[in-house]
Amino acid sequence: CFILFLFSVQTAHRTPKDRGTLLNSLLRTRVVHLTRFPFDTSARHYTAQNVAKMSIVTLMVAGSTSSVHAEKRFDKGSTIRTVKTKLELVVGIPAASMKLVLRDPNGTDICVMDDDDAFLGRYPVEDFLTLYVKNTDMTARVGEYEDVSKVEKFELTTEEYEQRAGTVQHFKRKHKLGRFNPEFADKVLAQAEEEEAAVQAMNIGDRCEVITKNGTHRGEVRFKGGVDFSAGNWVGVKLDEPYGKNNGSVKGRQYFECPDKYGVFVKPSNITVGDFPEEDLGLSDDEL
């Protein structure tokens, strides 16, 4: 419409031939402008309507001084300065030290996003291209923000923790909860005494029936006493069938010998010693 308006104004007193020449000139100028516009790197050419038409783009973010490889979504209507601010928490590089490079899936550089006031959409961004963040700080080291061993730790001794207010232990002691409850302590002591008595009454080789997470099974007592993997007394049993968890060893220590998956450890409260012969599965010699 604008071209037709210019044409009507400028050709009011011209001959038909001159009118044709002027129209071709106007159209040629407009086509050149439309051709250049998508690649125009000036943010001021983007009107509010153009920005509104922009969409969300998904880019793969990577950094030169971090091992981050993240998939992030960006609004093409955001400025490069805004994008850098959002990237600070992703790659751990200050926005002032960032140099953004757009790369294709093969790692080849497409362009450098060096205009902080420009919109992201002015660059040829497409889904799943890589937004590579270079750290221009020459003193920065690769992975310097990822090595937690260099972070100063806040440590307390057991004595300092016990004297500190506002802790979980302080709350439990104040309200007499858990081991700070005299009744609880008496209950734990009584339970320990019962377990000790039950273990002393057992003998290695006794037939037994144990309760495990996958049911009740029969077997033979092969170990009793304290262990390295937990507190209190435990009983090691060789099951008649492979419903166990181990071969009599836990965390590298062998407590008794048995085939794999036949060994299991249970608390004394989950075992009953008595006349529990091996169960007959009802199979004949031929079936076995």
Under 8 Å CB-to-CB from 245, ≥6 apart: which residues?
261, 263, 264, 265
pTM of the complete model beyond 0.75: no
Q: How high is the pLDDT of residue 101?
A: 96
In this predicted structure, what is the pLDDT of residue 267? 94
Q: Report phi then psi at 249, rounded to 5.
A: -120, 150
Beta strands across the sheet bearing 98-103: 69-75, 56-63, 129-135, 98-103, 109-113
* Token pair listed for 193: 């005494």
Average pLDDT over residues 194-222: 93
**Average confidence score pLDDT of the chain:** 82
Rounded to an integer, the average pLDDT of 100-120 is 95
Ramachandran sector of residue 218 (left: φ over 0; alpha: ψ -120 to 50; beta: rest): beta
Number of Cβ within a 10 Å radius of residue 116:
15
Across 143-147, 276-280, 282-286, the highest mean pLDDT is recorded for: 276-280
- pLDDT above 70 coverage of the chain, percent: 75
Neighbours of 3 (CB within 10 A): 12
User: Quick one: pLDDT at residue 173?
Assistant: 86
Residue that wins the pLDDT comparison between 119 and 24:
119
pLDDT tens digits along 222-260? 999 999 999 889 999 999 999 999 999 999 999 999 999
**Residue with the larger pLDDT of the pair 154 and 259:** 259
How confident is the model over 67-78, as a mean pLDDT?
Answer: 91
Residue 103 binned pLDDT confidence (cut-offs 50, 70, 90): very high
Q: Indicate whether 196 pLDDT > 80.
A: yes
Region 14-22: mean pLDDT is 57
SS (H, E, C) the chain: CHHHHHHHHHCCCCCHHHHHHHHHHHHHHHHHHHHHHHHCCCHHHCCHHHHHHCCEEEEEEEECCCCCEEEEEEECCCEHHHHHHHHHHHHCCCHHHEEEEEECCCCCEEEEECCCCCEHHHCCCCCCEEEEEEECCCCCCCCCCCCHHHCCCCCCCHHHHHHCCCCHHHHHHHHCCHHHCHHHHHHHHHHHHHHHHHHHHCCCCCEEEEEECCEEEEEEEEEEEECCCCCCEEEEEEECCCCCCECCEECCEECCCCCCCCEEEECHHHEEECCCCCCCCCCCCCCC
pLDDT for res 1: 55
